[in-house]
Structure 1
Amino acid sequence: MYTLAIRRSFIAQRLPAAGGREGGLRSHHYLAEFMLEGEGLDSNGYLVDFEDLGVQVEAVIDAFRDQTLDEIDAFAGLHPSIELFSRILCQRLDDLLYAPNVAAISIKLWEDEQAWAAYDLERA
């Protein structure tokens, strides 16, 4: 099984959870690491070309970069927890990525240097 990964950092804001500490918007410097796995390589010997993957990852991240997550439709009626955010990012990359040899996509999303959540998606 081949695995490759690409990282991107970005900033987004969110409101504190209901019942949480008082205060306004919280800004997070997120680090997203997307990992792709698959058995086979393409005719160039790639699981996925990093340049193509980078374009797709940037498209996913750009929808959230410098935004207030609570105001984005993907989080309508939901608190934008890091767990939920990791799933949304992973599913969005899956929707954009044409790579028939990729069997799984995972993300590890850090909201600071010590705290992260992960989500794994098996492709059909």
Structure 2
Amino acid sequence: MYTVTIRRTFSAAHTIAIGGVKEAMHGHNFAVEISLESMELDGDGVVVDFRTVKNHADIVLKEMDHSYLNDLTFFKTIPPTSENIARHIFERMEKACASQNAVLSQVTVWESESARATYRRGNRG
């Protein structure tokens, strides 16, 4: 199994409640790692063209960059935690990468150098 990963960044603000306590609005310089897997390499000897994946990621992340995440449609019904941000990016990237040789395996969102959340499709959906 081959795995390739690209890394992109975006900046955004959000407000979340942890344990019933609402945090003040604050921002992060998020880093996002998007990984794809394949059992085989294509005719060029690669899993996927990194440029293609980066272009798809840039389109997905553009809507969140320099935004207040709570105002985005996806986060109207769920809190914009790092976990939910990772899931949102995964679902958008899964559609964008559907025609690729590889399968999207996971998305990791770093909200700081020491805190990250990863979403991968599992048996529970």
The two structures have a TM-score, normalised by structure 1, of 0.88
Larger relative strand fraction: 2
Q: Report whether the alignment pairs 1:109 with 2:86.
A: no
Aligned-pair Cα RMSD in Å? 1.7
After superposition, give the CA deviation of every residue in 1:53-96 in whole Å (9 maximum; x if it has no partner). Answer: 11011111111111111000011122111111111111110111
Tell me what 2:21 maps to: 20
1:63 maps to: 63
- Deviation per residue, 1:3-38 (Å, 9 max, x gap): 000001110110132632553x21111010111111
Runs (4+) of structure 1 moved beyond 2 Å? 18-23, 98-101
For 1:92, the equivalent position in structure 2 comes to 92
Q: d(CA) in 2 for partners of 1:21 and 1:74?
A: 19
Q: Is the 8 A contact 2:31 2:110 kept in 1?
A: yes
Listed as ranges, the gaps of 5+ residues in structure 1 are: none
* Residue identity matched to 2:21: G
Identity of matched residues, %? 29
CA distance in 2, matches of 1:63, 1:37: 26
- For structure 2, the 5+ residue unaligned runs are none
Amino acid at match of 1:20: V
TM-score under structure 2 length normalisation: 0.87
